[in-house]
Structure 1
Amino acid sequence: MPVGTIVRRAGVASATHYRHFPTPGSLIAEAFPEELARCVAALDEALQDDDPWRGLCQVLTKVCTMQAQERGFSEPFPTSH
């Protein structure tokens, strides 16, 4: 859902939204702090693995599992069409 739609539904002016959340990342960080912390932890753990391929597979599995379990968490992330 586009941010403009969310802002209108929330009854907030666009200027207010951008004053508090100047970037999409700042809005996501505020809305999903626990999920982002878990993503960072998964990345940190993967970087400690001696086998880069295993680390990559591990982080992808964890993040994809999070997105499957908490479907609202994947909505803000852009996808290519």
Structure 2
Amino acid sequence: MLVCTREIMNLKGHSKVAGRADDKSFLARSDLSVHVAAPTVHARFRGPIQFGIKNHGTLPIRLRSGIRSQTSLG
């Protein structure tokens, strides 16, 4: 399943700033894998970040708005 963030990352105007999007470990402990095909958020990017997710467990997982991901800038 493909999901995206509600927040818009806006690096436009910052030609030397890039970022990285990663999953949080509590999701993996719930048998939910978050796949970020291209974890690097390039300089001048503007838009939501998209993730692929998959439930590897036998029980359904309820997703809700507001689950946090991890983003770093550098």
TM-score (norm 1): 0.27
Q: Taking CA–CA contacts closer than 8 Å with sequence separation of 6 or more, which of the two structures ends up with the larger relative contact order?
A: 2
Structure with the bigger percentage of strand: 2
Larger Rg: 1
Structure with the bigger percentage of helix: 1
